[in-house]
Amino acid sequence: MAQKKGYEVDSWLARPDAAMSIVLLYGPDRGLVAERARAFAGKTGLPLDDPFSVVRLDGAEVDRDQGRLLDEARTVPMFSDRRLLWVRNASGQKALADDVKALTSEPARDAIILIEAGDLKKGTGLRAIVEAAGNAIALPCYADEARDIDTVIDDELRKAGMSMTLEARQALRRNLGGDRLASRGEIEKLVLYAHGQKEINLDDVRATSGDVSGASFDDAVDALLDGKIADFDTAFTRHCQGGGHPFLVLSAAMRQLQAIQAMRGQMEGGGRNAASVVAAARPPVFFSRRKLVEKTLERWNVEALGRALNRLQTAVLQTRKRPDLSEALARQALLGIAVESARLAQRG
């Protein structure tokens, strides 16, 4: 049967079996599913930004248009010797399972099928079809254990050329593990915060992962996205006066804008509207914030979001160089984005 144990997945992805033309990544850790899918896609050698070589599909889209995956798999590539068909958000869709079953019986000669799915029950539907096939493989993705978390930490530290004290590692580990992308994002945030240092210490971890004044900096970021300048200034001031570090607001704003930039890219690249992109977002956008995120997506394009993120990253580096001015530097950068958001709202 074509399946791997959880501990075998990374070694298989390091050297994929070319005979497996259908790769199913599934499990409750959607961040790990997405990260491993990107790793496999990179191993194909195809240009991932080329729409002629890489066709991105949504599970719901395939389910609505029965036979869509089959048609794509049997289409002869025009500009390369093969194509990657990348299906995201798969679950129990019957049409998708039927198409995959047909492709296990009559494999596509010019296509590789990569499927990202949630937690699939053993012995049923899509998972059962893939596990029973000779040309397909099922790769489970479960929440990181301590050993896996240390591997992710070491990976990010190595890329940054930094080390970490044992106390800092133990404290950081307690905050990680539920979702691979979220864990990696937390580590990247910590590395950015400690920029210029050779070693990350316990105080750095506490400064970036604490929940001090969490509500106030969430309010500040939401006001920034909505272009409500006075509300932003009030929330930011309340956060800082309550003992919160300005970096937490910068970091939260960066995470939000990075997520929105990715969703805006889906809108521009796939011709989808803001509501459908937000509804399909993983991790999901809280219902109470959906309208705000939709409005932000409609106002900001990818280039403008990139400029805003560069402004925030510059502010983070400035606050590290001048910690005595961190509040003023952070406020200036964030206020500039709030003003731009208000201007875009008026234009719209």
- Structure-derived torsion over alpha carbons of residues 281, 284, 286, 287, reported in degrees to the nearest 10: 60
- What's CA 133's distance to the chain center, in Å? 30
Residue 178's pLDDT is what? Answer: 63
Residue for token digits 């402004």? 311
Amino acid 348: pLDDT: 65
Strand runs (DSSP E) across 14-166, as ranges? Answer: 22-26, 54-58, 83-90, 111-117, 136-140, 163-164
28/39 Cα distance (integer angstroms): 18
Residues of the chain with pLDDT under 70: 1-2, 144-146, 177-178, 209-217, 348
Percent of the chain with pLDDT over 70: 95
Alpha carbon 159 to chain centroid, angstroms: 19
Reported pTM: 0.56
